[in-house]
Amino acid sequence: MAPHMLVSEIRSYLARYLFSGEDVFKKVEVLSGGERGRLALAKLALGNANLLLLDEPTNHLDIPSQEVLQNVLSDFEGTIILVSHDRYLIDALATQVWEIDKDRAVLNVFRGTYTEYRSRGGSAGTSDRASDDSRPQRGEAFRKARAAKNREIADERRVRAAELRRQKRLAEVEAGISALEEELARIRESLANPPAERAEIQRLAEEYMRAEREMEALLEEWGELQE
């Protein structure tokens, strides 16, 4: 899928999809359902599409894969037409909500987020009205319950987003550690049979010390992310 990418670039790219360490060498046939879903997303993101049609994309995905999906789609610069019952995904992505009025056989378009759509009573057809004065006033108890529910959803999304960022960074750090381990092994092999030029030996020694410093920093960060 990406013959132009270097091995280090490929491993860093796969880390975004929670593949790190020995995971990158697995055969597709041994991957779990969630891992296959993340792999499909990784391949999809390399396709340079400008329009995605997605029908219940979070079905059959585990929680980490759902978070990766949301992150990938948030970065997508094209148009997404999404059919989903996942309110978190809709609220994170949607800039319009399309509602089918089965009684009148029409499609109503609400220009706004899913939370805004729900706060207006869940009727997309009211989105273009100048005001809501024509609608029946809702009781104070309903408004309080709706506000509490919106706060609950927002809190849940913040927790999930923070965990996604931690998992994503952890995968990136582990990929970096693996790449540095390979680099250090290569330099040690070169120094075991040192070249004749002193300048080249000095360069290898400096590279080794630089890689060791980077390794130490990544290992420290890895420990913090595990807490």
> Which tens digits make up the pLDDT trace of 90-107?
888 888 899 888 888 888
Query: Between the CA of residue 32 and those of 14, 71, 171, 219, what are the distances in Å?
Result: 16, 20, 18, 28
**Please, what is the average pLDDT of the chain?**
80
pLDDT in tens, 179-214: 888 988 888 888 888 888 888 888 888 888 998 899
For 132-145, what is the mean pLDDT?
A: 47
Is the pLDDT reported for residue 139 higher than 70? no
pLDDT of residue 18: 84
Q: How many domains does the chain have?
A: 1
Whether residue 38 lies inside any domain: the answer is yes
Q: Which residue has the higher pLDDT, 124 or 134?
A: 124
H or E stretch at 218 = helix 198-226
**Six token digits for residue 227:** 């807490």
For 61-83, what is the mean pLDDT?
A: 82
Whether residue 197 lies inside any domain: the answer is yes
Asked if 46 and 1 touch (Cβ cutoff 8 Å), the reply is: yes
Is the pLDDT reported for residue 126 higher than 60? no
Range of the domain at 41: 7-93+136-226
Question: Could you tell me which residues are beta bridge partners of residue 81?
Answer: 53
Q: Is 77 exposed, middle or buried (0-12, 13-18, 19+ CB in 10 A)?
A: exposed
Split at pLDDT 50, 70, 90, the class of 42 is confident
Asked if 208 and 181 touch (Cβ cutoff 8 Å), the reply is: no
pLDDT of residue 30: 92
Whether residue 118 lies inside any domain: the answer is no
pLDDT of residue 129: 37
Whether residue 122 lies inside any domain: the answer is no
Q: Which residue has the higher pLDDT, 134 or 2?
A: 2
**Six token digits for residue 52:** 């995605």
Residue with tokens 């989903």: 84
Whether residue 130 lies inside any domain: the answer is no
pLDDT in tens, 9-31: 888 888 888 888 888 889 999 98
pLDDT in tens, 141-167: 545 655 676 677 667 777 877 888 888
Whether residue 194 lies inside any domain: the answer is yes
Is the pLDDT reported for residue 116 higher than 60? yes
* HEC readout, 83-100: ECCCHHHHHHHCCEEEEE
Percent of the chain predicted with pLDDT > 90 = 3
Whether residue 105 lies inside any domain: the answer is no
Percent of the chain predicted with pLDDT > 70 = 85
